[in-house]
Amino acid sequence: KAGVTQTPRYLIKTRGQQVTLSCSPISGHRSVSWYQQTPGQGLQFLFEYFSETQRNKGNFPGRFSGRQFSNSRSEMNVSTLELGDSALYLCASSLGQDSNQPQHFGDGTRLSIL
């Protein structure tokens, strides 16, 4: 059974640009969550999608957005990139809303802003 797939693995952008990251969850999983990991702040929750609806949102500016498609694949977009957006972006998938099953993470997309 394939795990969580995130593309691309690495990305280099410059300030002011925008970027789109993709996440394909484990087959059958309908919930996708996104996290930002930095050395200073650790792992911080961005947002969660379930059945194409955003269910929860962390404390990030509106430049960070996401969406989920009918096949449960999810994308997150960051507009007007800042140096501080350099981070490892991780996606996690789980079965559903009330599942007490583990969440599974992809290997992440490492975003570097020049």
DSSP per-residue letters across 42-104: EEEEEEEEETTEEEEE-S--TTEEEEE-TTS-EEEEE-S--GGG-EEEEEEEES-TT--SPPE
DSSP per-residue letters across 20-53: EEEEEPPTT--EEEEEEEETTTEEEEEEEEETTE
Q: Which stretch binds another protein (CB under 8 A): 14-22, 61-69, 73-81, 101-109?
A: 101-109
Retrieve residue 47's tokens.
């947002």
Q: Is 31 in the site for another protein (CB under 8 A)?
A: yes
Q: Which of 25, 26, 94, 111 binds another protein (CB under 8 A)?
A: 94
Q: Which of 19/50 has CB closer to another protein?
A: 50
Q: Is 33 in the site for another protein (CB under 8 A)?
A: yes
Q: Is 68 in the site for another protein (CB under 8 A)?
A: no
Q: Is 45 in the site for another protein (CB under 8 A)?
A: yes
Q: Which stretch binds another protein (CB under 8 A): 19-27, 66-74, 75-83, 95-103?
A: 95-103
Q: Is 103 in the site for another protein (CB under 8 A)?
A: yes
Shortest spacing between CB 1 and another protein, in angstroms: 14
